[in-house]
Structure 1
Amino acid sequence: MKVATIQMVSGSDVPGNLAQARRLMSEAAQDGAELVVLPEYFCLLGQRDADKLAIQEIYGSGPLQQFLADSARELGVWIVGGTVPLSVPAPAGDGASGDAANRVFNSSLVYNPQGQCVARYDKIHLFRFDNGQESYDESRVLAPGHEPVLFDLPSRDGHRWRIGLSICYDLRFPEMYRAYARAGADVLLVPSAFTYTTGKAHWELLLRARAIENLAYVAAAAQGGVHDNGRRTWGQSILVDPWGDVLAERAENAGWVAAEFSFERLTACRTSLPALAHRVL
Structure 2
Amino acid sequence: MKAAVLQMTSGIDPEVNAGRLCEAIAEGAVGGATMLFTPEMSGMIDRDRVRGGPKIVPEEQDAVLSAVRAAAAEHKLWVQLGSLAMRRPDGKFANRGFVIDDRGAVRARYDKIHLFDVDLPTGESWRESAAYAPGGSAIVVETPLGLLGSTICYDLRFPDLYRALSDAGATIFSVPAAFTKPTGVAHWHVLLRARAIEAGAWVFAAAQTGRHEDGRETFGHSLVVDPWGEIVLDMGEGAGLGFADIDPARVADVRGRIPVLQHRRPIPPVSLA
Residue 113 in 1 paired to residue 102 in 2? yes
Tell me, yes or no, if the aligned pair for 2:222 and 2:235 is still in contact at 8 Å.
Answer: yes
The aligned amino acid for 1:113 is: D
Give, in angstroms, the shift of residue 131 of structure 1: 2.5
Q: d(CA) in 2 for partners of 1:210 and 1:242?
A: 9
**Mapping of residues 220-239 of structure 1, within 5 Å:** 220-239=205-224
Give, in angstroms, the shift of residue 61 of structure 1: 4.0
More displaced, 236-245 or 261-270? 261-270
Determine the structure 2 residue equivalent to 1:97: none
Q: d(CA) in 1 for partners of 2:178 and 2:243?
A: 19
Say which of 122, 130, 147 aligns to 1:140: 130
Q: How many equivalent residue pairs?
A: 265
More displaced, 123-132 or 187-196? 123-132
Q: d(CA) in 2 for partners of 1:113 and 1:238?
A: 23
Q: d(CA) in 2 for partners of 1:250 and 1:127?
A: 24
Residue 255 in 1 paired to residue 244 in 2? no
Q: d(CA) in 2 for partners of 1:125 and 1:51?
A: 25
**What do the CA deviations read for 1:43-96 (whole angstroms, capped 9, x no partner)?**
11125145453222323443122112101101111111121122222xxxxxxx
Residue 280 in 1 paired to residue 265 in 2? yes
Q: d(CA) in 2 for partners of 1:227 and 1:140?
A: 21
Determine the structure 2 residue equivalent to 1:167: 152
Determine the structure 2 residue equivalent to 1:2: 2
Identity %: 38
Tell me, yes or no, if the aligned pair for 1:239 and 1:258 is still in contact at 8 Å.
Answer: no
Give, in angstroms, the shift of residue 106 of structure 1: 0.7
Give, in angstroms, the shift of residue 264 of structure 1: 2.2
Q: d(CA) in 2 for partners of 1:50 and 1:166?
A: 27
Q: Normalising by structure 1, report the TM-score.
A: 0.90
Residue 125 in 1 paired to residue 114 in 2? yes
The aligned amino acid for 1:266 is: V
Determine the structure 1 residue equivalent to 2:169: 184
**What do the CA deviations read for 1:179-204 (whole angstroms, capped 9, x no partner)?**
01101101000010000011110001
Tell me, yes or no, if the aligned pair for 2:3 and 2:244 is still in contact at 8 Å.
Answer: yes
Determine the structure 1 residue equivalent to 2:271: none
Structure 2 spans left out of the alignment, 5+ residues: 267-273
Structure 2 vs 1, CA of residues 239 and 176 (structure 1 numbering), >3 Å: closer, same or farther? same
Tell me, yes or no, if the aligned pair for 2:15 and 2:64 is still in contact at 8 Å.
Answer: no
Say which of 137, 141, 150 aligns to 2:140: 150
Tell me, yes or no, if the aligned pair for 2:21 and 2:68 is still in contact at 8 Å.
Answer: no
Structure 2 vs 1, CA of residues 49 and 246 (structure 1 numbering), >3 Å: closer, same or farther? farther
Q: d(CA) in 2 for partners of 1:51 and 1:166?
A: 27
**What do the CA deviations read for 1:102-150 (whole angstroms, capped 9, x no partner)?**
x211100111011111100001100012125111110111111110011
Indicate the SS of the match to 2:217: coil
Q: d(CA) in 2 for partners of 1:243 and 1:51?
A: 44
Structure 2 vs 1, CA of residues 181 and 52 (structure 1 numbering), >3 Å: closer, same or farther? farther
Structure 2 vs 1, CA of residues 140 and 74 (structure 1 numbering), >3 Å: closer, same or farther? same
Q: RMSD of aligned C-alpha atoms?
A: 1.4
More displaced, 160-169 or 15-24? 15-24
More displaced, 203-212 or 61-70? 61-70
Determine the structure 2 residue equivalent to 1:59: 59
Give, in angstroms, the shift of residue 25 of structure 1: 2.6
Give, in angstroms, the shift of residue 7 of structure 1: 0.5
Q: d(CA) in 2 for partners of 1:37 and 1:130?
A: 29
Determine the structure 2 residue equivalent to 1:26: 26
Q: d(CA) in 1 for partners of 2:51 and 2:206?
A: 22
